Structure 1
Amino acid sequence: MGDRLQGKVAIITGAGSGIGRASALLFAAEGAKLVLGDKTDAVRDVAKAIVASGGQATAFQMDAGVEADVAHLVAAAQAAYGRLDVAFANAGIAGGMASIFEATPELWTEVLRVNLIGPWLMVKHAGKAMADAGHGGSIICTASVAGIRSGAGGPAYSASKAGVINLAMVSAQQLCETGVRVNALCPGLTETGMTAPTFNYAKDKGVTHKLGRLNPLRRAAQPEELANVALFLASDQSSYVNGQAIAVDGGLSSSHPVTRQLPGQTAV
């Protein structure tokens, strides 16, 4: 397909489905050698598909919020391919929509463990490996438009993703002069395993046309559309993009909520 990641070695977590799977297939098509992680066994099927297509990929079942598992992925990439150039900390969980008054500390702890501590662990281990190697690299952390402002997710999820955005900024500064870039990818409503209940409900009710109607493009995204932006951030084409939160949301986060106005009306 292309060669934008030719010669590069990449780690992707949450690679068994959704954005992670789409990114794994795309990165491989662009020449990357891959180490894939996911909590489910589906990640092995993704690796097999890549190998069957002539690519290189190894897969591990792991927990993105467990330090030993993340460190193992980084070590596996170095052992198998001799280097590490890209780390995509994509794994995450939704955590439900319980309000701040209904949620439990256990729920918040688990959401933060996977969604925020997980990306931090990737920065800690992959960032050090890249910095020590001296050839730079790119770390991508999946955040969300829910981390930019309220209204796109539950409280625990939204807070965790806001943390990821700040983590990318802080990490970019702490990796100063290493050539390692850190950015946050902020998806809007995307059809993935995590959002399957929403999409399935809409299909059952016959209202799929309403999904994503709050953004100017008036539709939801497909995982491949997010993978394309992840590819840009992973590649040398984004060599001067660092410490940023890139919203890929159809324009949802470009505006505050408004009442649609007829031509000639004046906003209040």
Structure 2
Amino acid sequence: MRFAGKSIVVTGAGSGIGRAAALLFAREGGRVVAADVSEGADATAAAIIDAGGTALAFRGDAGDEGDVARLVALAAERHGGLDVIFANAGISGGLANLFDTDVALITEVLRVNLIGPFLAIKHAAPLIAARGGGAIVLTASVAGLRSGAGSPAYSASKAGVINLAQVAAQQLSGSNVRVNAICPGLTETEMTRPTFDYAREAGKLDRLGRLNPLRRGAQPDELARVAMFLASDDASYVNGQAIVVDGGLSSSHPVTRQDYGKTAV
């Protein structure tokens, strides 16, 4: 019970990695606030309660400062403070290339994927520090490491998250608040489900993830377990790091080249 009695916030908890993490945190004794912009937050909180855990649902936008401030205040009020926040909420931004990416699209992707984690750190870190320390975990991506794993908007946002974890770890020096990021590879979530469903229907599921040495995509709980490790005292000396969980993809990041003005084949 690594999180017994601890107050934990998970954003993007309505599905995928966030839901898996919220369930795992609660299973290990955490008192969870499951936050999401969708009604999935309610379903996640209900599942935790049905299993005998402690949870609250919060409906809000992870990229809106007012919502984030209310979220962490709720956790502090109802659970006596805040020990951990897992800033996991994110959006894909589609597959448009650099020259077809609309400014409104990249602005929205950055708002949710990068400003969201920034707001989580800004509002959660003082509360965590006031408890004597704890952990902040951010969801980045292998797409933030180098080209070949996501659209320009998504990749830029996740590269920002990796740097944000490093900067925040430094600026929280002496607070005993650790900040780390996870970098998932291909994972079956709501964001990627159409791809997985299509592959299943076409009998080509074995082709997903074929570029990584494990030759498969990940399941959400495989990422959630790494996030939970980083949030726990087991990772007490891990700080300012981006932990890659991608089946080995980024050991080479193989990708089909796309020439300027031409379509990749």
* TM-score between both structures, scaled by the size of structure 2: 0.95
Q: Count matched residues.
A: 256
- Aligned match of 2:144 in 129, 139, 147? 147
**Does structure 1 retain, via aligned residues, the 8 Å contact 2:83–2:131?**
no
Question: Partner of 1:213 in structure 2?
Answer: 210
- Aligned match of 2:126 in 115, 128, 147? 128
- CA deviations on 1:74-104 (whole Å, 9 max, x unpaired) are 1001100111100000000000011110111
For 1:67 and 1:36, locate their aligned partners in 2 and report how far apart those are by CA, in whole Å. 17
**Does structure 2 retain, via aligned residues, the 8 Å contact 1:134–1:178?**
no
Question: Partner of 2:159 in structure 1?
Answer: 162
- SS of the equivalent of 2:240 reads coil
Question: Partner of 2:173 in structure 1?
Answer: 176
Are 2:22 and 1:30 aligned? no
**Structure 2 counterparts to residues 192-203 of structure 1, below 5 A:** 192-203=189-200
Q: Which amino acid aligns with 1:174?
A: Q
Question: Partner of 1:112 in structure 2?
Answer: 110
For 1:231 and 1:12, locate their aligned partners in 2 and report how far apart those are by CA, in whole Å. 11
Are 2:43 and 1:48 aligned? no
Which structure 1 segments of 5+ residues have no match?
Answer: 260-268
Deviation at 1:134, TM superposition (A): 4.6
Q: Which amino acid aligns with 1:46?
A: T
- CA deviations on 1:99-133 (whole Å, 9 max, x unpaired) are 110111100000000000000000000012112x1
Are 2:93 and 1:70 aligned? no
- CA deviations on 1:33-62 (whole Å, 9 max, x unpaired) are 011110110110110111111110000110
- CA deviations on 1:133-164 (whole Å, 9 max, x unpaired) are 15101000000000011111111000000000
- Aligned match of 2:249 in 252, 258, 265? 252
* TM-score between both structures, scaled by the size of structure 1: 0.94
Q: Which amino acid aligns with 2:83?
A: D
Q: Per the alignment, do residues 172 and 101 of structure 1 end up closer, same or farther by CA in structure 2, a change over 3 Å counting? A: same
**Does structure 2 retain, via aligned residues, the 8 Å contact 1:188–1:249?**
yes
For 1:201 and 1:49, locate their aligned partners in 2 and report how far apart those are by CA, in whole Å. 28
- CA deviations on 1:234-264 (whole Å, 9 max, x unpaired) are 11000000000000000101125399xxxxx
**Does structure 2 retain, via aligned residues, the 8 Å contact 1:29–1:55?**
yes
- SS of the equivalent of 1:101 reads helix
**Does structure 1 retain, via aligned residues, the 8 Å contact 2:11–2:62?**
yes
For 2:164 and 2:194, locate their aligned partners in 1 and report how far apart those are by CA, in whole Å. 29
**Structure 2 counterparts to residues 232-251 of structure 1, below 5 A:** 232-251=229-248
Q: Which amino acid aligns with 2:120?
A: M
For 2:255 and 2:12, locate their aligned partners in 1 and report how far apart those are by CA, in whole Å. 35
For 1:214 and 1:128, locate their aligned partners in 2 and report how far apart those are by CA, in whole Å. 42
Question: Partner of 1:81 in structure 2?
Answer: 79
For 2:5 and 2:77, locate their aligned partners in 1 and report how far apart those are by CA, in whole Å. 15
**Does structure 2 retain, via aligned residues, the 8 Å contact 1:84–1:130?**
yes
For 1:61 and 1:100, locate their aligned partners in 2 and report how far apart those are by CA, in whole Å. 33
Question: Partner of 1:137 in structure 2?
Answer: 134
- SS of the equivalent of 1:94 reads coil
Deviation at 1:204, TM superposition (A): 2.4
- SS of the equivalent of 2:190 reads coil
**Does structure 1 retain, via aligned residues, the 8 Å contact 2:211–2:254?**
no
Deviation at 1:199, TM superposition (A): 0.8
